Structure 1
Amino acid sequence: MMNTETLILTHLMSFPGQTPAQIANAIGRTRSTVGASLPVMVAVGDIWSDAEARYYTAEPAGEGDEKYIALCDEAYRLQERNLWNPAAHVWHQAQEATLKPGLREKARIKAILCVERAREKDPRPGPDPFCRRGNFR
């Protein structure tokens, strides 16, 4: 099963220029669920909106995007489970799966965000404040 973001992207690739209500009806999610996802997707460059609040994908669908979309869905599922390093790896694979500069950039940004989240979750330990160096005689 695809997550909301992947459903939105897939729908907008086929039907650009949709309002949030149209998107929600088409993908079978509530208006509030779609409304919560859209600003996040705009912030990371997945989609953009015009002055009439109609949404479009960053790049149109085309040859080879099927593998990219499948990898994105896998990465989102890993992110939902807080598996940040594996998600970053899948985003790197997605970056290599497309030739479109906009989609490659999106995957690169997503991978960086996943690495940052992984560092927050499991930061490297700092120096031990009680550790003394040298001779202890």
Structure 2
Amino acid sequence: MDFYGQKGLVEAINIKVPHAVNRKCCRHILSNFRCKYLRVMLNKLFSRAVRSYTEQGLKEAMAQMKDLKLEAYEWLCKIPFEFWTRHAFQANLKNDHIIDNIAESLNKWVGVLRGKPILILMKTLRSKGNE
């Protein structure tokens, strides 16, 4: 089942970089989740499950979701927790980001410079960083 639109990317990375840790952006999972299950309370429970630092917090949010909409609970349980829930991330990686908008933030900061030649881009970014 393809929840993330990566069509073979995970398998290719696992072959080329077998020790790499694979995570999913919860915002993208939520987008797919909302296409199927449009209840506001489900979205809140999903957010609680994703952001929980403890297994107990995840279990409580998922139990409430199960009571509210069994199909939504089952859909999320098919995605391995270590891909999308904060409590299951490897602690030795020192990063608990659940969304991938770091790159999106950089793109917004760079803005219209993205289409410029590399030397102009670098010169402008260097001075922009000193603002």
TM-score (norm 1): 0.31
Q: Which structure has greater helix proportion?
A: 2
Query: Over alpha carbons, which structure has the higher Rg?
Result: 1
Which TM-score applies when normalising by structure 2?
0.32
Larger RCO of the pair (alpha carbons < 8 Å, separation 6+)? 2
Query: Which structure has the highest strand share of the two?
Result: 1
